[in-house]
Amino acid sequence: MSARPSWLIALMVLAVALVATLAWWDEQREASLALDEFAENQVSLAASAGAALRSRLDVAEHDALALAHPASAADAVIAHSYLHARARPATAKAPDVSSSATSVIISVPVPGDQVIDLETPTANLFFSLGRIERPGERVLLLLPPGASAFQTSDGRSAPAPQVAAALESGAASIRLGGDDAAALGLPARSAWAGLARVNHPLLGRWGIAVVTTALRDRDRAVRGKWRLLLSTLLAAGLVLLFGGLALRERARELEAQKSLALAQLGRERDERLHDQTRTNTVITLASGIAHEVATPLSVIVGRAEQLQARANGDERAGKALQTILDQTERIREVIRGFLGLARGTPLALASVPPRSVVAGAVDLVEHRFSKARVSMESQVDAGLPDVRCDQRLLEQALVNLLLNACDASRAGGHVQVQAARRNGNIEFSVTDHGEGISPAVAARATEPFFTTKGEGGTGLGLAIANEIVKTHRGTLSIEPQPQGTRVSFQIPLAPKDAEARA
């Protein structure tokens, strides 16, 4: 017994270690995904900065064309917006601006084989991009055509050979080490640069780099790892602390569950014995009733035959007596069927049209519906295939459903009986609009002797119908409706119709 808790404790420790390992791996993966997302954000910022720079270059091109052909005082205003605006032949060398200057020369070819050199402060090109920069966190770099070093928004030269090489190779982003980030005025921690290229048809190829430190994301990841480690240690301590108490209580619970299981098994055995006893009683009762009914039926048949012989051509009396004989024979067949059902005797199956089953059941209960002043409507889909069944028993099952529906309906009510194809079977259904039943009652409705009718009910109608349906390999279901109840059962098709359907 002492080895078992040791094994359980070892398993708990192993589980805690496994959970910690998986959590650590997940934290690493999330940190990597966060860095990837961080890099994508820098690429998006660089793309936005490139679009803004392209717009600024288009404005410079427009200004150069206006200055090449001055037409109004507005052109003088344009010229004053730049540090210098010089025209030179296209073959002449462009003026030189030292690497320490805070300005950029934009050379714009204009008609007449000339070039307009617009010298503008670097800050002007960054005017609409200034909101992207954040001191100590994010820096914006510009690489003019032909330049060897980047320029910042304040005109400083910023050598960044790794960034320039990545820009030249067409990369979308690059990761910088702590030293490279510090050279750009950022914290000496890893940083990401989003890259964008602006290829202007007249003004050449420009480069944009948005460099952002990953300090916050890295610090956040480190704090997350420490929180994960502390949480794992705390969880492990709690597991080990309460594990021993849980093991002791578990032993008590297992003993209690064992006692409950034995008690439940005894109750289920008693219920099965009770059900078997009740079933045997029903079989015995049915056999006794069949024996006792057989003699009166024989008397009724004999007297009806005597009266039939004395009818002397009275057609109406002859039909009435023949009806008595037919119904008496039906009673005998139904009793034989019930006795066979109770004894497990194989059914006498035949292929029967569903319409015949519905018509036979309706004929038997019409007088009850008329007496109760409840209307009845039968609906049978056209072209239904035959079902393989004992017609008398199946009619009796449907009769039981119809009688229950009639009893549940008030005077002036309506009951509908239908036959249709459902899920590859033939479904017979009876729907009433009476008071309805609750789901709890519906769950017990097919139990023998269960009834909600008080002394007026036997509790056998639905139970017998359910047994008849089950012996036909069918299923019976009871569905409470918003108003009333729908009871249905499905019977498999006759074999040849099932094969044709397949």
Q: Write out pLDDT tens, residues 174-202.
A: 888 888 888 888 888 888 888 888 888 87
- Rounded Cα distance between 219 and 241, Å, is 33
pLDDT at 402: 92
Top mean-pLDDT range of 219-228, 314-323, 376-385: 376-385
**Closest alpha carbon to 126 in 113, 143, 112, 111:** 143
User: Between 79 and 451, where is the model more confident?
Assistant: 451
pLDDT at 298 over 50: yes
pLDDT at 259 over 70: yes
Which residues, in sequence order, are CB contacts of 27 under 8 Å at separation 6+? 221, 224, 225, 228
CA distances in angstroms from 70 to 57, 73, 113, 277, listed in the order given: 20, 8, 17, 117
Among the ranges given (65-69, 176-180, 336-340, 439-443), the one the predictor scored with the smallest mean pLDDT: 336-340
Please state, as a whole number, how many other Cβ atoms lie within 10 Å of the Cβ of residue 321. 20
pLDDT at 218: 63
Please state, as a whole number, how many other Cβ atoms lie within 10 Å of the Cβ of residue 339. 16
Please state, as a whole number, how many other Cβ atoms lie within 10 Å of the Cβ of residue 221. 17
- Rounded Cα distance between 278 and 180, Å, is 92
The CATH homologous superfamily to which domain 346-501 belongs is Histidine kinase-like ATPase, C-terminal domain (3.30.565.10)
User: Between 241 and 390, where is the model more confident?
Assistant: 390
Find the helix or strand (DSSP H, E) in which 365 lies: helix 354-372
What are the start and end residues of each CATH 3.30.565.10 domain in the chain? 346-501
* Length of the chain counted residue by residue: 502
Q: Write out pLDDT tens, residues 156-173.
A: 778 888 888 888 888 888
pLDDT band at 378 (very low <50, low <70, confident <90, very high): very high
Show the beta-strand stretches assigned E in 369-457.
375-380, 387-389, 414-422, 425-432
Average pLDDT over residues 430-458: 78
pLDDT at 73 over 50: no
**Angle of CA points 195, 197, 200, to nearest 5°:** 165
Residue 221 structure tokens: 């990841």
